[in-house]
Structure formats: C-alpha cells, structure tokens
Amino acid sequence: MHATNAGGNGAAGSVYETIDLTNVGSASCTLYGYPGVSLVDSSSAQIGAAATRNSSLHAPSVVTLAPGAKANFVVQIAEAGNYPSSTCKPKQAADLKIFPPNQTQALALPTTSTGCSNSSVKLLFVGAIAVSSALVQSR
C-alpha cells in the first residue's frame, strides 16, 4: 500500500485533505472502515491524539483494490492556532502516520501541519475509505 496526498481544501479553521491509498502489490486487497491517522514528529513520535472517526461523510463499505487501483479517505486537520498555546502546546509535525484498515504496517505521508501535544485537544477527524477509481470494485 502506498499513500499520496490527492489535494485539499481549506475551511474555517481546518484543512480537508484527500489521501489516496494505492495497492502496490501483485494481488487484490480488501479495505473496510476507517484508517488510523495521527500526526508524528521527525522522530516518528505521535503528537497529541489520534484522529477521531467522522461518520457523517459516508458509511463504510467494503472496497476491493486490484493491483494499481486506488481508494481514498478524507482527513480534517484543524488549525492548532484555534486553541490557546497554553492549552494546545503546539508542535510541528513531520508526517501523517496512516494505518490503512486491517493493516499493521504504517505509512508515512509528509505534512506541514502543526499538532497539539495536549492529547485532550482533538485536531484530526477521518472519514471511511471510499472508492476513487473505476478500477476499484466495491461490494
């Protein structure tokens, strides 16, 4: 599996990034549900809380990826500056750490986001995996 940033949009106090997951293997694979996502620093230490699931985007469904096919998900990253510095304890992130559903191997995707070291501040929200290509078969 390989992760790439497919683009994003800003909104009041947040950025919404679409992340593509590509099956780089030689066999089909199946994904269902929500990826695990967190911000990490340059030493891969997690910054603050992991992403909270956002079920309002769409319901999870089984997505089967043929070799070379893509699926995607949306991650909302709230601005650390929305919170007082003393509450947030801002820290520069180096990567988004992504665990695709049912996978134990994390993927790293570079980011310029700032996280909150205080894990009680929720900055990340993630949607379920969805179909992003005609090569993908969903059931």
pLDDT digits 0-9 by tens, 17-61: 999 999 999 999 999 999 999 999 999 999 999 999 998 877 899
Q: With helix as H, strand as E and coil as C, how does 25-80 read?
A: CCCCEEECCCCEEEEECCCCCEECCCCEECCCCCCCCCEEECCCCEEEEEEEEECH
Using a cut of 0.75, tell me whether the model's pTM lies above it. Answer: yes
Domain count along the chain = 1
Structure tokens belonging to residue 69: 């096919």
* pLDDT at residue 13 greater than cutoff 50: yes
For residue 13, give the CATH number of its domain: 2.60.40
Mean pLDDT across the stretch 116-123? 96
Question: What is the span of the domain harbouring residue 61?
Answer: 2-138
